[in-house]
Amino acid sequence: MISADLNGNIALVTGASRGIGRAIAEVLASQGAHVLLCARSAEDLDRVASGITEGGGSAKCVVTDVSREPDVVNAISACRAHGRLDILINCAGIGVFGPVVETTTEDWDRIMAVNVRGAFLMCREGAPIMPEGGCIVNVASVVGVKGYINQGAYTASKHALMGLTKVLAQELQPRGIRVHALCPGGVDTELVASARPDLDRSILMRPEKVAEIVLFLVGQTGNAVVDQINVRRAVSSPWFG
């Protein structure tokens, strides 16, 4: 198990109520970080927070729709109460799957609002209160570097997130803030299950394995920077790598 000394660190994780986001929040808390849990469901967030505190960790729930600017400002204000934000994990994401010609404008806009606008807002509001040594991890996807049939809107959003990440990495480097892109392939989450109900979930990666990679990234020190990590399972799938 990878470990990192995160005692005293303030971390914010979006999409923290389930799946990869929840696993990331739990592993950061296990290493000593105080984690602000952001998602839309107060009930789901409470369950995650209870599990963290029962295990000896520290967490606070901040109900947040990342596509709404006032919600994001409120979440970052919770970090300001601690004086800073050391770790920002942008993991909130949604997907609508089907041919491009059958994708509605409403679905396109909704995916972009969460997957791209949400990360943009979090980075814009959060970066100014990050100290030297701060870290941002944008959880993209294998479709951020590839394209798969029936995933046009989702793929476009993740490509946009990759572009945002690359620019932020350069803009924040002079302040000593690292910005990473993490691109996992098929992970056993509700999003994948809804998109591919026919898929054998036992062959997918576990969210906890992705969380371990995030822990590796946030624990990096020195002047060597990992810009991007692509991670896939050993056997490929025609949809998820």
Catalytic residues: 154
Which residues contact residue 64 at a Cβ distance below 8 angstroms, ignoring those fewer than 6 apart? 14, 38, 39, 40, 71, 72, 74, 75
Report the alpha-carbon distance of residue 177 to residue 145 in Å, rounded: 24
Report the alpha-carbon distance of residue 58 to residue 50 in Å, rounded: 9
Order of strands across the sheet that contains 10-14: 58-63, 34-39, 10-14, 87-90, 135-139, 178-184, 228-231
Longest Cα–Cα distance in the chain: 50
> Strand, helix or coil at 49?
helix
31: number of CA atoms within 13 Å, CB side? 22
In total, the chain counts a number of residues equal to 241
Site of tokens 């029936």 = 150
